[in-house]
Chain A
Amino acid sequence: MELDRRGILGGLALAGTAFAVPRWAQGASLHDSAIRPGFDEVGGAVIDLTIGRGPSIVQGRRGHATAVNGTVPGPLVRLREGQTATLNIRNTLDAETSIHWHGLLVPFQMDGVPGVSFPGIPAGGHFTATFPVRQAGTYWWHSHSGLQEQTGHYGPLVIDPAGTDPVAADRDYVLLLSEFTPMHPHTIFEKLKKGEHYFNYQVPTWTDRYPLTGAQRRMWARMRMMPTDISDVTGSTYTYLANGRGPLEGMEYLFQPGERIRLRIINGSAMTFFNLRIPGLPMTVVAADGQNVRPVEVDEFQIGVAETYDVIVEPGQSPAYSIVAEAMDRSGMALATLASHPGARATVPPLRDPPLLTMADMGMNHGGMNHGGMNHGAMDHDGMAMDSPSEGAMKMDEGGGMDMSGMSMRDTSLLPPDVSVGPGIDMVSMSPVDRMGDPGIGLDKVAHRTLDYRKLVALEPNPDTRVPSRLLELHLTGNMERYMWSFDGKKFSAVSDEPIRFANNERVRVRLVNDTMMAHPIHLHGHFFELVNGAGGTHRPRKHTVIVQPGGSAQFDLTANEPGDWAFHCHLLYHMHAGMFQIVTVVPPAEDAA
């Protein structure tokens, strides 16, 4: 295998370097009973996980959390490829719970989705998950019961490869991004359902500084939509967390100048896409969703909910570097520091201005309109070169063509007949284009290097490179005002007995068309699929979660070779809860079939 990169294969002697566990102990809880932020590590042949509830305090904000082994996030589950994992789960809650091993290839009955793969773990009950570990890489685990995931029931999962890790590093760290809120998750869901843009404090006003012309503002109002509908739940209630710590709580990773640091970045949040950068330090992406990719150097990348990326960084002589994970709507950030000695800190760039949705996000392929929000005002806060303000203004001036009187934003004749048209669909993308080359909302205008799906190339050849024999097209549908979300206009509650079916070992191209103005991270349990990203038939990136950009489409090829019933859903927790969920059934091989 020829890889053009500096030393990732080198330094094999260092590959055995264990996790240099950072200083979790610092800033211990004020109360013995309170849930501890950060996590311990559990591993070996048999692992015990105990799920409980308790008070949690983040930056002085108090809430109730679900903790596993007493921490939020729960413990780092460390496995080795080739072992048989045995995980004893004890439920001390007064409610049902579950653990889904996100991204793991397991027998379906061990996948941890109540109502699909098993009956759930009742209050006070226990469950033993046991499965052979067939892969390596960075993953995570979380509850699939109710909305427990929002309350802290999640944790990282890392599998060491059976052989030599092609990614060598001196230090190996996990950075799990998530959210804390004192609000009960059911309350959050009810606020979303009752509307009023409850969590959005970035809506257009008479006094905002958005580079929108009067015509554009009227156009958005006419559509009954908002150019700032980026995230449903925002920093108005969330404190964004790095390994369970708020941005003021000093999450730090130690380094020595010149070391190669592997950061395993996991987006374990319920609702937040993050744009992550380390000012002054390029990142080399070496794995996506646990699967190794050809190294690609970037300065910033977007990580959707439930995705994971492994990056290598090589800190230089600065005493510290800030790891800045801005929420996509820029209503807050998670923050950690690469520190050369405990307490070392680097400048933290202020939040950039909120991005705005564009013509492309409306499903129109007109070009010209871009995320203008990036560029207006004096934006050079953090020393990173950005486009000049005037360019931003110019782009927006092209929006004269945005008066779309006479255009229908909801031409349902464009939809295939298997889409159910009703109140749950408020928009139909007029000309949905493949947007896998899009770095994500807020990143299309930054002047530095970003990541997109077309830049991902699998390190190893794909195991199955057959040409798909069938196309499956699914429309991601929704209604922002009513907060309805579904596939093909049908909430799961309406089609719970009509799964998406695949023959055994069937090779299918799945085309996801986003008929909404939100980005959806779509996750298929129990499988990896290959993104159809132009990387060529043999080295397409394998992922378990794919972001479908607003108004656009994404495609993947799937080999349906994991028999059983599997959850398939939008990983935005409240979208799933609103109905954007389906079951995928893969028929067992003929000799096993009934």
Chain B
Amino acid sequence: MKILLALPALVLAQPAWAQHTGHDMPMAEPASAPGAQAEDQPHHHETATPASDPHAGHAMPHTMTMPMPAAGTSAPSSETAPPPEAGSGPARAADAIWGADAMKASRAALARGMGAMMLSKAMVDRLEYRAHKGTDGYLWDAQGWYGGDVDKLWIKSEGEGAFGGKPEQAEGQALWSHAIGPWFDLQAGVRHDFAGPDRTHAVIGIQGLAPYRFEIDAAAFVSNKGDVTARIEAELDQRVTQRLILQPRAEVTLSAQDIPELGVGSGLDKAELGLRLRYEIAREFAPYIGVEHEWRAGGSADYARAAGDSTSRTSLVAGIRMWF
């Protein structure tokens, strides 16, 4: 049997309901479906005045003011702070039973275990044989990280060369990587070139996932000689089947100045366009084949011609992508 009380009285006459709670007679909510009435409430996010809750802590002294901000016939539609009777401070109830010392280790382990794990990943995005005019070559492009969700140490290395010779280009980067949004990390650190003239660079860049699922890695470099360069890479995984993936890839390098020592002209230095088809035997292990074309542009092309090198090259590639 429902008892439809005068509802304002229900709210204001707090001792009345307090007497009822121990009884078997259930209090009725308003006849109009209470679920429905609160379900489509618009967002209200004002934090209303705290401690306006006459229902809470009925065993507490009645020092608070009684009026409610809204009529009590329906549940409040905006969020309010907990009443003072809810207490404050960390959750330490178990200390009273088991002792603070006994709880300490498990409490720390819980906080660590629910969101603060440090993990690491190592990934070889490209490790490939490159067949082209002249001596065939090789290329590696790997990176790895260690850290939490927001801050990571990020290591990158890439390089290439012709078989039988020293690498023509090889570099390593050590970066601090900081998540600046859901999709992108800001990365800053140093790069060292191990092949060719000895150079160390300061690095600042961003890496992440752009709309349409483009994987982007863009960085600017300032070398210890004062040269300013930049590199932008973009990859897009196109799934043909659940395991067969076609990956277009583009990379451009830019230079703010001529660097004759490196054969680099100012402006667009180099562009690469590649297409790789990989098969994921496992998600972590995918052999691939592909084709890549690279161009030297502008001043860089002039340097290449002057040195008797070609300004563009097509390579057939075969390699492995893997991570763990």
- Chain A positions within 8 Å of B, measured between CB atoms, are 96, 108-109, 113-120, 146, 189-191, 193-194, 196, 198, 201-207, 218, 221-224, 410, 414-418, 422-426, 433-434, 436, 454, 461-473, 479, 481-482, 484, 486, 491-494, 496-499, 501-507, 509, 532-538, 540, 555, 557, 563-565, 569, 576-581, 583, 585, 587, 589-591
Q: Flag if A504 contacts B57 (CB, 8 Å).
A: yes
Q: Flag if B38 contacts A503 (CB, 8 Å).
A: no
Q: Flag if B39 contacts A467 (CB, 8 Å).
A: no
Task: Kindly list chain A residues whose C-beta atoms are within 8 Å of the C-beta of B63.
Answer: none
Docked complex Cα distance between A584 and B106 (Å) = 17
What are 21 A-B residue pairs whose CB atoms fall within 8 Å in the complex? Answer: A108-B93, A109-B94, A115-B111, A118-B103, A193-B117, A221-B213, A416-B45, A436-B35, A467-B30, A472-B79, A481-B209, A496-B111, A499-B90, A501-B87, A506-B57, A506-B85, A555-B39, A565-B93, A569-B114, A585-B93, A587-B86
Docked complex Cα distance between A540 and B149 (Å) = 40
Known: A467-B11, A468-B75, A496-B107. A532 touches B34 (CB 8 A): yes
Task: Kindly list chain A residues whose C-beta atoms are within 8 Å of the C-beta of B47.
Answer: 417-418
- B83 at the A interface (CB under 8 A): yes
Task: Kindly list chain A residues whose C-beta atoms are within 8 Å of the C-beta of B89.
Answer: 497
- B261 at the A interface (CB under 8 A): no
Docked complex Cα distance between A479 and B94 (Å) = 33
Q: Flag if A496 contacts B110 (CB, 8 Å).
A: yes
**Which of B27, B93, B111 interacts with A466 by CB under 8 Å?**
B27
Q: Flag if A493 contacts B114 (CB, 8 Å).
A: yes
Docked complex Cα distance between A257 and B53 (Å) = 57
Q: Flag if A119 contacts B93 (CB, 8 Å).
A: no
- B105 at the A interface (CB under 8 A): yes
Known: A108-B94, A426-B183, A482-B149. A465 touches B28 (CB 8 A): yes
Q: Flag if A196 contacts B283 (CB, 8 Å).
A: yes
Task: Kindly list chain A residues whose C-beta atoms are within 8 Å of the C-beta of B60.
Answer: 503, 590
Task: Kindly list chain A residues whose C-beta atoms are within 8 Å of the C-beta of B113.
Answer: 146, 577
Q: Separation in Å of the B102 CB from the closest CB of chain A?
A: 5
Q: Flag if B11 contacts A501 (CB, 8 Å).
A: no
Stretch at the interface among B131-139, B174-182, B218-226, B310-318: B174-182
Task: Kindly list chain A residues whose C-beta atoms are within 8 Å of the C-beta of B283.
Answer: 191, 196, 198
Task: Kindly list chain A residues whose C-beta atoms are within 8 Å of the C-beta of B94.
Answer: 108-109, 116-119, 564-565
Q: Separation in Å of the B292 CB from the closest CB of chain A?
A: 22
Task: Kindly list chain B residues whose C-beta atoms are within 8 Å of the C-beta of A198.
Answer: 283
Task: Kindly list chain A residues whose C-beta atoms are within 8 Å of the C-beta of B90.
Answer: 496-499
Q: Enumerate B81-107 residues with CB–CB distance to A below 8 Å.
A: 82-83, 85-94, 97-98, 102-103, 105-107
**Which of A423, A433, A565 interacts with B91 by CB under 8 Å?**
A565
Q: Flag if B86 contacts A502 (CB, 8 Å).
A: yes
**Which of B29, B112, B114, B116 interacts with A537 by CB under 8 Å?**
B29
Interface of B is mostly: loop
Stretch at the interface among B188-196, B235-243, B269-277, B299-307: B235-243
Query: What 10 additional pairs, Cβ within 8 angstroms, besides A423-B149, A471-B75, A503-B85?
Result: A422-B179, A465-B26, A466-B55, A492-B115, A499-B90, A503-B86, A509-B76, A555-B35, A585-B91, A591-B59
Q: Flag if A590 contacts B57 (CB, 8 Å).
A: yes
Task: Kindly list chain B residues whose C-beta atoms are within 8 Å of the C-beta of A577.
Answer: 113-115, 117
Task: Kindly list chain B residues whose C-beta atoms are within 8 Å of the C-beta of A120.
Answer: 106
Q: Flag if A194 contacts B121 (CB, 8 Å).
A: yes
Known: A417-B45, A536-B33. A590 touches B59 (CB 8 A): yes
Known: A224-B183, A538-B26. A506 touches B83 (CB 8 A): yes
Q: Flag if A222 contacts B212 (CB, 8 Å).
A: yes
Interface of A is mostly: loop
Residue among B30, B75, B82, B115 with most chain A CB within 10 A: B115
Q: Flag if B182 contacts A410 (CB, 8 Å).
A: yes
Known: A482-B182, A538-B28, A585-B87. A503 touches B34 (CB 8 A): no
Residue among B29, B35, B68 with most chain A CB within 10 A: B35
Q: Flag if A555 contacts B38 (CB, 8 Å).
A: yes
When C-beta atoms are compared, the residue in chain A nearest to B324 turns out to be A194
Q: Flag if A218 contacts B212 (CB, 8 Å).
A: yes
Docked complex Cα distance between A417 and B43 (Å) = 12
- B109 at the A interface (CB under 8 A): yes
**Which of A434, A467, A498, A504 interacts with B40 by CB under 8 Å?**
A434
Q: Flag if A470 contacts B91 (CB, 8 Å).
A: no
Docked complex Cα distance between A580 and B115 (Å) = 8
Docked complex Cα distance between A494 and B83 (Å) = 23
Docked complex Cα distance between A551 and B212 (Å) = 21
Task: Kindly list chain A residues whose C-beta atoms are within 8 Å of the C-beta of B105.
Answer: 119
**Which of B34, B36, B111 interacts with A492 by CB under 8 Å?**
B111
Known: A470-B82, A503-B85, A590-B60. A425 touches B182 (CB 8 A): yes
**Which of B40, B53, B79, B180 interacts with A506 by CB under 8 Å?**
B53
**Which of A222, A422, A499 interacts with B211 by CB under 8 Å?**
A222
Q: Flag if B79 contacts A471 (CB, 8 Å).
A: yes
Docked complex Cα distance between A315 and B212 (Å) = 51
When C-beta atoms are compared, the residue in chain A nearest to B74 turns out to be A467
Cβ-closest 10 pairs across A and B? A537-B29, A579-B115, A115-B110, A491-B115, A534-B35, A493-B116, A503-B85, A423-B179, A469-B55, A497-B90
Q: Flag if B79 contacts A466 (CB, 8 Å).
A: no
Q: Separation in Å of the A288 CB from the closest CB of chain B?
A: 16
Q: Flag if A471 contacts B78 (CB, 8 Å).
A: yes
Q: Flag if A589 contacts B59 (CB, 8 Å).
A: yes
Known: A468-B76, A481-B183, A482-B179. A564 touches B93 (CB 8 A): yes
Q: Flag if B35 contacts A532 (CB, 8 Å).
A: yes
Docked complex Cα distance between A464 and B112 (Å) = 37
- B293 at the A interface (CB under 8 A): no
Docked complex Cα distance between A108 and B94 (Å) = 8
Task: Kindly list chain A residues whose C-beta atoms are within 8 Å of the C-beta of B34.
Answer: 467, 532, 534, 536-537
**Which of B57, B79, B80, B91 interacts with A499 by CB under 8 Å?**
B91
When C-beta atoms are compared, the residue in chain A nearest to B88 turns out to be A501
Docked complex Cα distance between A428 and B150 (Å) = 20
Q: Separation in Å of the A215 CB from the closest CB of chain B?
A: 13
- B163 at the A interface (CB under 8 A): no
Q: Flag if A115 contacts B107 (CB, 8 Å).
A: yes
Q: Flag if A109 contacts B109 (CB, 8 Å).
A: no
Docked complex Cα distance between A398 and B44 (Å) = 32
Q: Separation in Å of the B217 CB from the closest CB of chain A?
A: 15
Task: Kindly list chain A residues whose C-beta atoms are within 8 Å of the C-beta of B29.
Answer: 465, 467, 536-538
Q: Separation in Å of the B115 CB from the closest CB of chain A?
A: 3
Task: Kindly list chain B residues whose C-beta atoms are within 8 Å of the C-beta of A580.
Answer: 114
- B17 at the A interface (CB under 8 A): yes
Q: Flag if A578 contacts B115 (CB, 8 Å).
A: yes
Docked complex Cα distance between A469 and B57 (Å) = 11
Q: Separation in Å of the A192 CB from the closest CB of chain B?
A: 10
Docked complex Cα distance between A538 and B76 (Å) = 18
- B143 at the A interface (CB under 8 A): no
Q: Flag if A464 contacts B21 (CB, 8 Å).
A: yes
